[in-house]
Amino acid sequence: MTNSEIVDLLELTGRLMELHEYDTFKTRAFSSAAFNLDKSTADLANLPAEELIKLPGVGKSVAYKIREIAETGRLTELDDLLAQTPSGVMDMFRIKGLGVKKIGTLWRELGIDNLNELQQACEEGRVAQIKGFGKATQDKILAALEFLQEQKGKVRMDKAAMIANLLHDELTRHFERVEISGQVRRKAQEVDTVQLLVQTSDPVSAMLTLNGLPSLESDEQISSPFAWRGQLQNFDVQVELLLFPAEQIDRQLFIHTAAEPHLQQVGTGGQSLLQVAYTSPDTAEEAIYQRAGLPFIVPEMREDDFAFRWAGRYRNDQLVTWDDLRGTLHNHSTWSDGKQSVADMAAYCRELGLTYFGIADHSKTASYANGLDAERVRAQQIEIDQLNAGFGDSFRIFKGIESDILSDGSLDYDNETLATFDYVVASVHQTLTMSLEKATTRLLRAIENPYTTILGHPTGRLLLAREGYPIDHRAIIDACAQHNVVIEINASPYRLDIDWRWINYAMQQGVMLSINPDAHDFGGLLDMHYGVATGRKGGLTKEMTFNALSLEEMTKYLTQRRSRIGKK
């Protein structure tokens, strides 16, 4: 059992105890342990109970519960709670903004135990009549239900890639060639079908092999003799395995990677890219584009005709790559809600070949994330100075902060404190329900603040979980251009915000983009791979990638920017 799996079970136990109105003290014991252990770097599964008790938030009772989880993979108390809880009530936990107490009220007072009944009750106005709810809450629940329905059957980029790789590894044991295709290959941020192409000269035998794999669950109604469709066990997303002979694989890989609008692009010979793909004697992807009289487009960009317009100004070798990244600027440590120390995060960055690490822990208003007040800011900066003294000229830790953008658009510290940072990532974390005008005005004021260096996750969205607040993207990007503010591509696969569709407009306005992992641990730093994929999808070049600047260039940029603030 991993730490995150243990923490998830403890957290769920606490939430279900609250739902079933267990003793408050006992409920808090589980919730507190989950909250504290979420940041722990200890190997929870291998610690004896007497060592677990020494960890923050862990009492004797919970320590033995952790041992039960580690040894059995289950928790008897949680199993009992789950047995008492309808699965539809569990689904209500997915509704953002609907807390445990409100879920309990809906279940007990209205007898609602599934999402369909909840939607019907909202549409009939019954939820608004419950004390503590009202029409505003009812409308939010309806909007959240609609959003969940739209996202049903989809997975994020990271999970889709994991599923595709699992399938690829399994299938290559049985087939000579297997290729990941479709949405996964073109790095879609949300995936509803994980598609792979399987090479075979005997589709009947191949289908028997696929149906015999224990991890695959076939859906015979939507399958056909040349297309296996169903799901990978334990994952709620459609899997499509297409069978082709060896001579067709390259051609079909090209066709199935690109989205329909891209394939309909007409080339110089009057034929669409799809028509050329079916008739070209040379089935290599580059040859198909060449035969159509169109520039070669990398797989990530094969969505529509935007890529061809982009290719009129840029070359593929200008697109940003992982190897172009020289540092990382939006990261958290144990000073706020991260799992590793500043020193350890910096050391891992060095292992990755990066030359600078920017720490941007949460600011004081983010009390839920142990945000830093001015005194703790000073203490952290002293630690960073001491660490930097040991690096020489080859590596540097930059002093940053992720400052909350307050409801009026101001930043979370006075100017005296803001002036101590090398850079500031300004982000919205609270009061997310806003009109387009309110959200845009709030961000514009933050952008106008001379201390704002980077605008963090501009819409606050969580993919498949929460829609972002609406903003006027053009107005925001134009303001960033005017005030020399960099825009973040938040590389966390949960966010990927700013959306790739706005990257090209930002570039045209002269706004640089920073591929920021928003990392809270070592693994989070690797999320920059998803940020690179998103950047490439939107046509981001190395030249316009902020953290592709060298250490010397970044030091100069930040120094000059701070100097200009001091002269104003």
Q: What is the pLDDT of residue 567?
A: 64
- In this predicted model, what pLDDT tens digit does every residue of 181-225 receive, in sequence order? 999 999 999 999 999 999 999 999 999 999 999 999 999 999 999
Q: Please give the share of the chain, as a percent, with pLDDT higher than 90.
A: 83
Q: What is the pLDDT of residue 258?
A: 97
- In this predicted model, what pLDDT tens digit does every residue of 320-363 receive, in sequence order? 999 999 999 999 999 999 999 999 999 999 999 999 999 999 99
- In this predicted model, what pLDDT tens digit does every residue of 420-475 receive, in sequence order? 999 999 999 999 889 999 999 999 999 999 999 999 999 999 999 888 999 999 99
Region 153-248: CATH code: 3.30.460.10
**Cα–Cα dist 121/118, whole Å:** 5
Q: What is the pLDDT of residue 143?
A: 87
**Cα–Cα dist 177/197, whole Å:** 8
Region 3-151: CATH code: 1.10.150.110
- In this predicted model, what pLDDT tens digit does every residue of 20-75 receive, in sequence order? 999 999 999 999 999 889 888 889 999 999 999 999 999 999 999 999 999 998 99
Domain boundaries, the chain: 3-151, 153-248, 258-315, 326-567
Q: What is the pLDDT of residue 19?
A: 93
- The mean pLDDT of 368-388, rounded to a whole number, is 96
Q: Which residue has the higher pLDDT, 409 or 95?
A: 409
Pull the structure tokens for residue 277. Answer: 């793909």
Q: What is the pLDDT of residue 236?
A: 87
Q: Please give the share of the chain, as a percent, with pLDDT higher than 70.
A: 99
Residue 463: what are its φ and ψ, rounded to 5°?
Answer: -55, 135
- In this predicted model, what pLDDT tens digit does every residue of 278-310 receive, in sequence order? 999 999 999 999 999 999 999 999 999 999 999
Domain 326-567 annotated CATH 3.90.850.10? no
> Which residue is associated with the tokens 């919970």?
62
Three-state secondary structure readout of 220-259: CCCCECCEEEEEECCCCCEEEEEEECHHHHHHHHHHHHCC
Inform me whether the pLDDT recorded for 365 exceeds 80: yes
Inform me whether the pLDDT recorded for 558 exceeds 90: yes
Q: Do residues 231 and 239 touch, judged by C-beta distance below 8 A? A: yes
Q: Work out the burial of residue 59: count CB atoms within 10 Å of its CB; fewer than 13 is exposed, 13-18 middle, 19 or more buried.
A: middle
- The mean pLDDT of 243-260, rounded to a whole number, is 97
**Cα–Cα dist 151/220, whole Å:** 24
